[in-house]
């Protein structure tokens, strides 16, 4: 018998300390700040330089130490937990959903909560409601990655736009293996990220708690299925 084919592994990105989008978007207020200063418009110059610094800070991308083992689910994003509860999937099965709201002051780089292979990538929705609005989870522009672990369990991680957010970046491709805690995309600017796990998973956070992408434990997976 021949060897099993190598499993394509996703190359983590973005990995720069500041996501490159910052320099392109930050250049606009920076130029306006310079122009305002040259014209003697002191207050306007300060405002534009403030926007420049905000843009750079928004796209910061810190390294994180990933806790636990392969049964430990880590936060996919920085922010505040707004939902922890059981939901009904379209096929009638039950699942555990944990929703995280990201304000414009949070790190917006997304991390994979659990290692798995990308089974499908689904882009849906058309609206841009506030990310904390309950309707946003089903109506806003969003990108859902359906993943399968080595143990055969399916889970999803869903990037959802918000009132200000207008762009979702998702780098993995179907068939690629993404390691737990790896950075795989981002949303700009305000947004929400959900993790949908098997209903037997045990949540380790509650609504209102603050979490950090890749370093906060969200849940523990149940035992491997036979």
Q: Which residues contact 211 (CB under 8 A, 6 or more apart)?
A: 75, 77, 78, 79, 80, 81, 100, 205, 218
The active-site residue out of 191, 202, 215, 226 is: 191
- Write out the DSSP string of 77-117: SSEEEEEEEEEE-TTS-EEEEEEEEE-TTS--EEE-SS-EE
- Closest by Cα among 182, 177, 124 to 148: 177
CA distance 29 to 24: 10
Closest CA to 149 of 188, 194, 114, 111: 114
Nearest Cα to Cα of residue 84 among 190, 188, 183, 201: 201
Count Cα atoms within 13 angstroms, Cβ side, for 81: 23
* Catalytic residue flag (residue 191): yes
Active-site residue list: 191
């Amino acid at each position: 018998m021949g060897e099993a084919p190598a499993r394509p592994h996703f190359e983590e990105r973005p990995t720069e300390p500041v996501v490159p989008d910052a320099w392109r978007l930050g250049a606009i207020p920076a130029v306006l700040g310079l122009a305002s200063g040259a014209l003697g418009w002191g207050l306007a110059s300060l405002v534009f330089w403030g926007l420049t610094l905000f843009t750079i800070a928004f796209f910061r991308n810190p390294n994180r130490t990933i806790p636990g083992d392969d049964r430990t689910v880590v936060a996919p994003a920085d922010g505040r937990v707004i939902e922890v509860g059981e939901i009904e999937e379209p096929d009638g099965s039950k699942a555990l959903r944990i929703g995280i709201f990201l304000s414009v002051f949070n790190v917006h780089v997304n991390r994979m909560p659990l290692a798995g292979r990308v089974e499908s990538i689904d882009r849906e929705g058309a609206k841009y409601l506030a990310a904390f609005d309950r309707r946003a989870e089903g109506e806003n522009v969003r990108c859902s990655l359906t993943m399968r672990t080595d143990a055969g369990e399916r889970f999803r991680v869903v990037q959802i736009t918000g009132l200000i957010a207008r762009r979702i970046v998702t780098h993995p491709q179907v068939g690629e293996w993404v390691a737990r805690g790896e950075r795989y995309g981002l949303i700009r600017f305000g947004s929400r990220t959900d993790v949908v796990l098997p209903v037997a998973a045990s949540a380790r956070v509650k609504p209102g708690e603050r979490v950090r992408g890749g370093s906060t434990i969200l849940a523990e997976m149940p035992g491997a299925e036979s």
